[in-house]
Amino acid sequence: GNSVTQMEGPVTLSEEAFLTINCTYTATGYPSLFWYVQYPGEGLQLLLKATKADDKGSNKGFEATYRKETTSFHLEKGSVQVSDSAVYFCALTPPGGGADGLTFGKGTHLIIQP
């Protein structure tokens, strides 16, 4: 079946540090890939997505590139802020014909210290 594996947290960084949160997936065919974020006290919201190989999703200074050769979709940001503290979830939907819901990783809790 489909699955998503992301790095365990919590990840603690200082403000302005470089961020990488690793995400790899297992799926049949070429899924669409997503990063969702959950800020403290708020619901899940889409951060960025990529729907085909080599696509790069970007938003709010975050980027992730769909790498089919390594089945990865790592999240990066060049300079994190305290306001980026949240839980980040990597997720996928399979290509047409598969189940219709998102398959999520377990989430990575990111803590940014001033």
Partner 1 sequence: GAGVSQTPSNKVTEKGKYVELRCDPISGHTALYWYRQSLGQGPEFLIYFQGTGAADDSGLPNDRFFAVRPEGSVSTLKIQRTERGDSAVYLCASSLNGGAGSTDTQYFGPGTRLTVL
Interface positions with partner 1 (CB under 8 A): 4, 32, 36, 42-46, 49, 51, 89, 91, 93-107
Structure tokens at 25: 């997936």
Least distance CB 82 / partner 1 (angstroms): 23
In the bound state with partner 1, the residue whose beta carbon lies nearer, of 14 and 56, is 56
* Smallest separation (angstroms) from partner 1 to the CB of 47: 11
How far is residue 114's CA from residue 15's CA, in Å, rounded to a whole number? 5
Instruction: Select 14 or 99, whichever has its Cβ closest to partner 1.
Output: 99
- Quote the radius of gyration of the chain (alpha carbons, Å): 14
- CB closer to partner 1, 4 vs 80: 4
Closest separation in Å from C-beta 23 to partner 1: 11
Cα 46 from Cα 71, distance rounded (Å): 20
Residues sharing a CB contact under 8 Å with residue 104, sequence separation 6 or more, in sequence order: 4, 36, 89, 90, 91
